[in-house]
Amino acid sequence: MKSLRFALLTLLVFLAACGGTSGQTNPQPGSSTYIQNKGSDTIVNLALAWAEKYQAEHLDVSISVTGGGSGKGIAALLNKTVDIANASRQMQAEEIKQAKANGFDPLEFVIARDAIAVIVNPTNPVGRLTMQQISDIYSGKIDNWFQVGGQDRPIVRLSREVNSGTHVYFRDTVIRLGDKKNKTLFAADTLLLPSSEGIISEVRQNPNAIGYDGLGYVPPDLKTVAVAKDAKGPYVLPSIATVNDKSYPVARDLYMYTAGQPAGTVKAYLDWIVSTEAQTIVANLGFVPILK
């Protein structure tokens, strides 16, 4: 029984300590405003960096950031459980209809631009591919690296999960080459990894792998493939410049959605996000700042 009392005492002490610490890190009750930000895993680290910077400068605001996929953020917005939904794809027609049915018009803000880099292992000799080749690789028509000028190795295809906006974007723009009637799917044996980092670490150590990810996620030690729109065109590497002059064919906008017109703290935060200060953070993280 003595040990029980001791355990309970330790428990109380710990609780008290937590109470003390939480007093220091919590914003003052009453005067604080809480913004909830949820959605795209592509945007999540950017959103986190923004949240940190903004909270450091505005001590009365606190912002929580959660990932889970563009779909999750939009679903939460539709349920009105978040203030801002991060999405790496645009809201679809059914989702907009659902929003109107729930009593609001979703408002779209472009907050950054993103290049989708196609990455391979650094030891892979292949450095350039056309859109058609990438499409054929991912749909299963091309199975071996030597078919595109590489070594005799099987191709291991890596992709994001189906709930990722990045996945949807890649499917529509690259595999289906922008054709809405095209119904080609990813090859059935494509590895659907639950996170960007999973793709990065597999490509880093596996010479057979090919993957795709937002440029902001690609560390410098991986090899990025130069992409051409067709066999005649120039092979372009993704960068801030090539996204803004539209020469890199696999680029997209990143969005934040609010339920109707934002007001108060949310509006101030969104205004800040398109400011130069916030957009510098965008560039630092490897995304493409929006042009003024």
Partner 1 sequence: MKRRFTFDRFLIQRLGTSMITLVALLTVVPIIAVFAYIIGKGAPALSWQFLSAMPHDGMRAGGILPAIVGTFYLTLGTAIFSVPLGIAAAIYLSEYARENWLTRLIRIAIINLAGIPSVVYGLFGLGLFVLFLKFGTSIISASLTLSIMTLPVIISAAEEALRSVPQAFRTVSISLGGTRWQTIRKIILPQALPGIITGVILGLERAAGETAPILFTGAAFFLPHLPNSPLDATMALPYHLFVISTQVPGMPIQIQYGTALVLIIFVLGMNLTATIIRSRARAKRQW
Partner 2 sequence: MKKALSWSEALITAVVKACGYSAIVFVILIFFFLLREGVPALAEVKLGELFSTRWYPIENHFGILPLITGSIIITLGAMLVAIPFGIGTAVFLSEIAPRWLREILKPLVELLGGLPSVVLGFLGILVLTPYLRVFLNLPTGLTALAGALLLGGIAVPTTVSIAEDALDSVPQSYREGALALGATKWQTIWRVTLPAARSGVLTALMLGIGRTIGETMAVMMVTGNAPVMAVKLTSIFLPVRTMTATIAAEMGEVANGSTYYHVLFFIGLVLFLISLVVNIIASSVVFKSKTRAERVLS
Residues that bind partner 1 in the complex, under the rule CB under 8 A: 3-4, 7, 14, 18, 21-22, 25-27, 29, 41, 44-45, 48-49, 51-52, 55, 62-68, 81, 194-198, 200, 216-217, 219
Q: Is 64:219 a contact under the CB 8 Å cutoff?
A: no
21, 22, 23, 26: CA torsion to nearest 10: 130
Nearest 5 degrees, angle CA 127-CA 131-CA 136?
95
| Interface with partner 2 (CB under 8 A), residue from 35, 47, 119, 168 | 168
Instruction: Pick the closer one to partner 2 by CB: 54 or 255.
Output: 255
The count of residues interacting with partner 2 (CB under 8 A) is 33
Could you say whether residue 189 binds partner 2 (CB under 8 A)? yes
CB of 157 to partner 2, least distance (A): 9
Q: Is residue 137 part of the contact set for partner 2 (CB under 8 A)? A: no
- Residues 69 to 88: which contact partner 2 by CB under 8 A? 69, 71-72, 75, 78-79
Query: Going by C-beta distance under 8 Å and a sequence separation of 6 or more, which residues neighbour residue 91?
Result: 74, 99, 106, 108, 257
Select from partner 2, partner 1, none the partner in contact with residue 163, using the beta carbon and a kind-dependent cut-off of 5 to 8 Å.
partner 2
Contact (Cβ atoms closer than 8 angstroms) between residue 255 and residue 47: no
Residue 155, C-beta contacts closer than 8 angstroms, at least 6 positions apart: 137, 142, 143, 144, 145, 208, 210
CA atoms of 158 and 208, how far apart (whole Å): 10
Alpha helices in 127-254 (DSSP H): 131-139, 165-170, 196-205, 240-244
The site map against partner 2 for 90-129 (x = CB under 8 A) is -----x--x-------------------------------
Could you tell which of partner 2, partner 1, none binds residue 178, using a CB distance below 5 to 8 A set by kind?
Answer: none
Residue 26 interacting entry, from partner 2, partner 1, none, C-beta within 5 to 8 Å by type: partner 1
CB 5, min distance to partner 2, A: 25
Alpha helical stretches, state H, the chain? 2-25, 41-57, 70-78, 93-101, 131-139, 165-170, 196-205, 240-244, 264-273, 276-284
Which of partner 1, partner 2, none does residue 48 bind (CB under 5 to 8 Å by kind)? partner 1
Which residues face 157 on adjacent strands?
A: 210
| Among partner 2, partner 1, none, partner that 49 touches (CB below 5 to 8 angstroms by kind) | partner 1
Interface with partner 2, residue 201, by CB under 8 A: yes
- Pick what 217 binds: partner 1, partner 2, none; C-beta below 5 to 8 Å, kind-dependent: partner 1
Q: Are strands 251-259 and 106-120 parallel, antiparallel or unpaired?
A: antiparallel
When the beta carbons of 65 and 175 are compared against partner 1, the nearer one is: 65
Q: Which is nearer to partner 1, 163 or 182 (CB)?
A: 163
Q: Any idea what DSSP says for residue 273?
A: H
Q: How far is the CB of 219 from partner 2 (least distance, A)?
A: 16
Burial-class residue 98 by CB neighbours within 10 Å (0-12, 13-18, 19+).
middle
Q: Does 154 bind partner 2 (CB under 8 A)?
A: yes
Q: What is the DSSP letter of 249?
A: S
β-pairing verdict for 106-120 and 223-224? antiparallel
Q: CB-wise, 98 or 132, nearer to partner 2?
A: 98
Out of 33, 36, 68, 107, the residue judged to bind partner 2 by CB under 8 A: 68
